[in-house]
Amino acid sequence: MNALKYTKDHEWVRIEGDVATIGISDYAQDQLGDVVHVELPEGGKAVARGDEAAVIESVKAASEIYAPLSGEVIEVNGALADDPSIVNSSPLDEGWFLKLRLSDPGELDGLLDEAAYEDFIAGLE
Amino acid sequence: MDQARRDRGTSDEILRTPLHALHIELGGKMVAFAGHELPVRYPAGIIAEHRHARSEAALFDVSHMGQIALGTASAGEELERLVPADLTELRPGEMRYTMFTDEAAGILDDLIVVRLEEGWMLVVNAACKKADLAHLTRALGPGCPARALESRALIALQGPSAEAVLARHAPDCSGLVFMRAAPMKVAGIDALVSRSGYTGEDGFEISLAASEAEALARRLLDEPEVAPAGLGARDSLRLEAGLCLHGHDIDLSTTPIEAGLAWTIGKRRRREGGFPGWPVIRRQLEEGAARRRVGVRPLGAAPAREGTEVQDLEGVPIGRITSGGFGPTLAAPVAMGYVASAQARPGTPVRLIIRGKAREAEVVRLPFVPHRYRKPESERRKGMP
């Protein structure tokens, strides 16, 4: 499995060919607390990097998930509708949000590797 | 992370409660709330803490709330000039939920008033503490000085196991019914114990010297039924219980009648008035208010947050959500807000505009979760709220 890349908005990205799977980091799920609802985009929707792609609701508040890359939504994680707490219990695996077919692979250069992301969140403490 | 220390020395100093070190030790995630640093949750998380309060007993630090002493037994009559509750009927050990109103019948703050043998005690919201003290001093004059009890802590123990737990340390607590208070020793510590709280559950609030608070909190947390709970669970519990949060569900723009708090206005006060905003309240009691606070249940999974617009089925705005989130007991979103009185009947279908999309919802009767207060038999039959 390919190594995860991260954004400073606490999303992770896993690249397989021209498809990126996207979720939120363990740090992000811990900061949010209990996730009670996830609103995902329609399949087929085109998103540009920085667009609002999904919304995650904890008990306390709603947070936007911004598309870390540009592309077309080809699949969303339907399991989150039945049990959004998967985002807490398995943020990097079963708690994925959506898959994008990338339109601009050059955007990958802007992502952080795991070590750089760990440094980034260490600076937030 | 250490917001409190960073803010020291500024005019908006963030205060620590006497249980601050214990919160940190328990892994509390600390946030600033009404000028105090308090745990929003512990490692268990809001949902688990909430459910623990409904199933066993949860311990809350509510030391940020303002405790105010009114030194003379006759202060009740003077206090009646500021609130619509009937206070002169109270005997020592009895207490009332009431509110400070202004001339337009807006709500300056909601509070608890306790009649003691030797005087009165008020418990007010942290954010309103200073303004309430000024209001009291201005209105009651020098003959009836209100005094902030700065060196006292307040611990709430809430849930169906609260009595069994507290009785191990204070057997007399079992003699209290809902909204009664008495001084007693708790684990050997002098305290004022009341059978009250803001979760909808049976439970107690324990006022004691700040210096003794951590020792008592540890004794209670050592009991197998007790788990700590933070502000997040306190908020979701009171929302399920249909209880108002000042600054959100009630404020200067809402009257007690609109808020569904007419039950707090004593019978004698309805005849005599004599409190700020009485002409407005009398008119609303007679003619009804134009809008009402109601429960709103979103039919989908998306919570409706504070500020969400409420529309009728034709898309006409009829009100706004004032508190909304997720109700762990119902495992579904819950909300409350104000709607036009014509649409306030339970069962009325409405729409909520969440992120630009209309979502189906329904007006429902409050509370979402039935109260489980330990009321005396006589009041249970009357079906008081």
Whole-angstrom distance, CA of residue B131 vs CA of residue B91: 28
| Residue appearing with tokens 């308090």 | B38
Query: B377 pLDDT band (50/70/90 cuts)?
Result: confident
pLDDT at B141: 78
Which residues of A have a CB under 8 Å from any CB of B? 33-34, 36-37, 39, 55, 57, 59-62, 81, 84, 88, 125
pLDDT at B378: 67
Cα angle, residue B132 at apex, residues B248 and B108 outer, rounded to 5°: 35
* In the predicted structure, residue B382 carries a pLDDT above the cut 90: no
pLDDT at B379: 66
Query: B5 pLDDT band (50/70/90 cuts)?
Result: very low
Whole-angstrom distance, CA of residue B206 vs CA of residue B123: 12
pLDDT at A3: 86
Domains detected in chain B: 1-241 (3.30.1360.120), 262-364 (2.40.30.110)
Tokens of B312: 């009728």
pLDDT at A125: 74
Would you say B289 and B341 are in contact if contact means Cβ atoms under 8 Å apart?
Answer: yes
Which residue of A59, A62, A81 is in closest CB contact with B232?
A59
Closest Cα to residue B335, out of B362, B371, B315? B362
| Residue appearing with tokens 């004599």 | B274
pLDDT at B270: 96
Contact criterion met (CB < 8 Å) for A61 and B40: no
Contact criterion met (CB < 8 Å) for B305 and A37: no
Whole-angstrom distance, CA of residue B136 vs CA of residue B118: 19
Q: Which residues in A17-67 belong to E strands, given as ranges?
A: 19-24, 35-39, 46-47, 52-58, 62-66
Contact criterion met (CB < 8 Å) for A59 and B236: yes
pLDDT at B7: 37
The residue of chain B with its CA nearest to that of A80 is B301
Residue B54 has phi, psi (to 5 degrees) of -80, -25
What is the percentage of chain B residues whose pLDDT exceeds 70? Answer: 95
More confident residue, B323 or B140: B323
Give tens-digit pLDDT for A29-51. 999 999 999 999 999 999 999 99
pLDDT at B145: 78
Asked if the bond preceding B303 is cis, omega within 30° of 0, the reply is no
* In the predicted structure, residue B92 carries a pLDDT above the cut 80: yes
Domains detected in chain A: 5-122 (2.40.50.100)
* In the predicted structure, residue B43 carries a pLDDT above the cut 90: yes
Contact criterion met (CB < 8 Å) for B326 and A55: no
Give tens-digit pLDDT for A88-114. 999 999 999 999 999 998 999 999 999
If you count them, how many residues does chain B have? 385
Element (H, E) at B233: helix B231-240
ipTM of the complex: 0.92
* In the predicted structure, residue B296 carries a pLDDT above the cut 80: yes
Which residue of B232, B303, B328 is in closest CB contact with A37?
B303
Give the three-class secondary structure for B269: helix
Which residue of B45, B235, B355 is in closest CB contact with A33?
B45
